[in-house]
Structure 1
Amino acid sequence: MNVKIVCDSASDLHQQTLERHSIHSLPLKIIMNEEEYEDGLTIKPQQVYDRMRQGEGPKTAQVSPQDFRDAFSEFARNGQPFIYFAFSSELSGTYQTAKMVEEEIKEEYEDARFEVIDTKAASLGLGLIVMRAAELAETGGSFEEILKLGMYHATNMEHIFTVDDLVYLQRGGRVSRTAAFVGGMLKIKPLLHMEDGKLVPLEKIRGTKKVLKRMLEVMGERGTDLQNQRIAISHGDDQERAEKLAEMIREEYGTKEIQIEFVGATIGAHAGPGTIALFFLNDSYK
């Protein structure tokens, strides 16, 4: 029996991708106007961005303990080995909840074989890890091989991103109200990255055009064998800029495979419309 790959909706993988690789995804929750939605299932990113532009402020909630129990217990009951690659523990309590449920399930099903992994990744950074693990699982890779490969990609995954309006990060407590106001007045675009699963400011850049150029430069400074690895770009309802960045990457580094997707509703609720995020490995692709 092949190992089942499990993730959550913060991977920002399209439903077709999930189905093609038989990946089981658990939805985080979006709350808007006191109504709760399941990320990617009962609400789509486009709807969230449209409502944010109209002034609504969405909130998010982690995968529920019951959702974890239902999925984990079904796999355990059927003798299905699986690995859950979780959204960064620094950005959500989802991983901690999954670890709690893991203990319960392993007490009930002593022969259950599964692991819960904190990837310290988000959006398509998490998505790339999950896809690579799923590909190995499809070819009959062993539990240990898949775990090792997944952890390698998680350890070496770079996240470089910018947001169109600092006010959304300010609402989520990522930047101060003053910084958001001044940044907006001066047209300053922050460049951020992930450091041990946390969002960390990297640079401040004045002007949208300069941001993409700098993202390209940082990719060259940090990336390895960019021509031959799969990279990804996610966007907050800005397909045109995402395609522009992809074109720049192809021209500069000759990258053959670039995956472009929406920044999903969960992460988009905090980053806002206009977000552009770039994901690649800082070591050799495996």
Structure 2
Amino acid sequence: MGDYQIFSDGACDIGFEKAEELGIQLIPFYVSTDHENYYKEILEISLDDYFRFMTEEKGYPKTSLPSIQDYIDAFTPALEAGKDVLCLTMTRSLTASLESAMTAKSMLEEDFPHARIEVINSWVATGAQMLMLMEMARMQKNGKSLDDVLAYTEKARTDARIHFMVGDLSYLEVGGRIGKLATLSGGLLKIKPIIILKDGEISVGGVCRARKKGLTQIADVTKKHFKETGEDPSHYIATPGTNTIWDDMDDFYEKMKEAAPGMEFLPPFQIGATISSHTGPGTTGFCFVKKYEYYGF
């Protein structure tokens, strides 16, 4: 292992057990179901309780980013142990987590002037952020330097994609995050937009009313991506994800394997509270990131 510690905010949805296995430390987001009391995702409120609030109580939870102090508390032990810090955050376009980490970096550099503290905007979130972290950890395990891993993330984030179907557009509206999707609102909240997250920005890849059709559209958008870019799917690692609906995930998994032949697939993962608070129950998507070897590292 290298003499640097990899960190990430909790928007990566990798889970604490997998993160520990890979030597990654997480700084979780906060979740509130009453809009007054906030709890650290997973550590202080389970995903089961969180999704029960959304699906059974039809509630609209809120999230809050990790604080500056959260990042200081996470980074300090590694710095005291003589390690450098490499932190990946959720895309800046969806949260100010990056700013919290950058402020913590500035404050800690005064106490640890000889240490390196690198904070990176992943331009993605959830499963794509997770896949990027897994590649970063694999590079570290294989003896790659902090500079190599940093260079990889700057390249990989330009090719990483999330193609997903919003579960319930009303969550984006209530949360004030409807942004570029505003033209789809106003009496059309029953539709399920197909969203493309790339280069840190969201765009609409299609719309549908039925979930089954939406999953097919995600496969079509993915197939179109590789056709237009000329990229080789076998150079990528991928994972499908959902938050609350699992009974059609086997079919979706096979559909995506047909859409991106040769790609390395991980088992489906659960989309966590940070993203789900804004996209609603039933959110399902496909995330893929380019492996580090194919950038020449």
* TM-score where L is the length of structure 1: 0.91
Supply the distance in 2 between the matched residues of 1:96 and 1:215 (Cα, whole angstroms).
Answer: 32
**1:184-203 equivalence runs, <5 A:** 184=190, 188-203=191-206
By how many angstroms is 1:269 displaced?
1.1
CA deviations over 1:62-116 (Å, ceiling 9, x no partner): 1011111112222222211221011111111110111111111112211112200
The one-letter code of the counterpart of 1:14 is G
Is 1:95 the counterpart of 2:98 in the alignment? yes
**Which residue in 2 is equivalent to 1:82?**
85
Cα distance in structure 2, aligned partners of 1:122 and 1:106 = 27
Match of 1:172 in 2: 175
Offset at residue 282 of structure 1 (A): 7.2
Query: 1:242 aligns to what?
Result: 249
Q: Which amino acid aligns with 1:169?
A: L
**2: CA distance between counterparts of 1:180 and 1:162?**
19
> What is the SS of the residue equivalent to 1:237?
coil
| Partner AA of 1:233 in structure 2 | P
Residue in 1 that maps onto 2:12: 11
Distance in structure 2 (CA, Å) of the matches to 1:249 and 1:201: 19
Mark the CA change 1:117 to 1:101 in structure 2 (over 3 Å): closer, same or farther. Answer: same
Partners of 1:177 and 1:212 lie apart in 2 by: 22
Q: CA separation in 2, counterparts of 1:256 and 1:245?
A: 15
Distance 1:105 1:245 in 2: 45
Separation in 2, partners of 1:118, 1:218: 25
Give me the whole-angstrom Cα distance separating, in 2, the residues matched to 1:178 and 1:194: 17
Distance in 1 (alpha carbons) for counterparts of 2:107 and 2:15? 31
Indicate whether 1:58 and 2:61 are aligned.
yes
Contact 1:29 1:63 in 2 (8 A): yes
Q: Structure 1 counterpart of 2:286, which letter?
A: L
Pair 1:272 & 2:273 matched: no
Contact (CA 8 Å) 2:237, 2:290: kept in 1 or not?
no
**Superposition pairs of residues 27-38 of structure 1, within 5 angstroms:** 27-33=28-34, 34-38=36-40
Residue in structure 2 matching 1:209, options 195, 209, 212: 212
- Classify the secondary structure of the residue corresponding to 1:190: strand
Gapped regions of structure 2 (runs ≥ 5): none
**1:48 Cα deviation after fit:** 1.4
| Counterpart residue type for residue 9 of structure 1 | G
Structure 1 SS opposite 2:278: helix
User: Which residue in 1 is equivalent to 2:188?
Assistant: 182
Question: Displacement of 1:285 after TM fit?
Answer: 4.7
Cα distance in 1 for residues equivalent to 2:163 and 2:237: 15
Assess if the C-alpha contact under 8 Å between 1:123 and 1:234 holds in 2: no
Further displaced range: 242-251 or 2-11 = 242-251
* Residue 143, structure 1, aligned to residue 150, structure 2: no
**Does the 8 Å CA contact 1:225/1:285 hold for their aligned counterparts?**
no
Q: Is the 8 A contact 1:166 1:180 kept in 2?
A: no
Q: Give the whole-Å Cα distance in 2 for the aligned partners of 1:203 and 1:282.
A: 24
- Count of matched residue positions in the alignment of Structure 1 and Structure 2: 283
- Between stretches 174-183 and 27-36, larger displacement belongs to 174-183
Rounded Cα–Cα distance in structure 1 between residues aligned with 2:7 and 2:19:
10
After TM superposition, the structure 1 = structure 2 runs for residues 35-50 of structure 1, keeping only pairs within 5 Å, are 35-50=37-52
For 2:145, give the aligned amino acid: S
Counterpart CA distance in 2 for 1:212 and 1:158 is 16
Structure 1 residue 14 displacement after superposition? 2.3
Q: 2 CA distance for matches of 1:221 and 1:84?
A: 32
Code of the aligned partner of 1:260: P
The 8 Å contact of residues 160 and 198 in structure 2, kept in 1 or not, is answered as no
Report the Cα distance in structure 2 between the residues aligned to 1:281 and 1:140, rounded to whole angstroms.
21
Letter in 1 for 2:134: M
Measured in 2, the distance between the counterparts of 1:17 and 1:282 equals 20
Verify: 1:230 aligned to 2:248, yes or no.
no
User: For residues 35 and 243 of structure 1, do their structure 2 counterparts lie closer, same or farther at Cα, with a shift above 3 Å needed?
Assistant: farther
Query: C-alpha offsets along residues 132-181 of structure 1, whole Å, 9 cap, x if unaligned?
Result: 00111112211111111122221210111112221112112215598263
Q: Distance in 1 between matches of 2:235 and 2:122?
A: 23
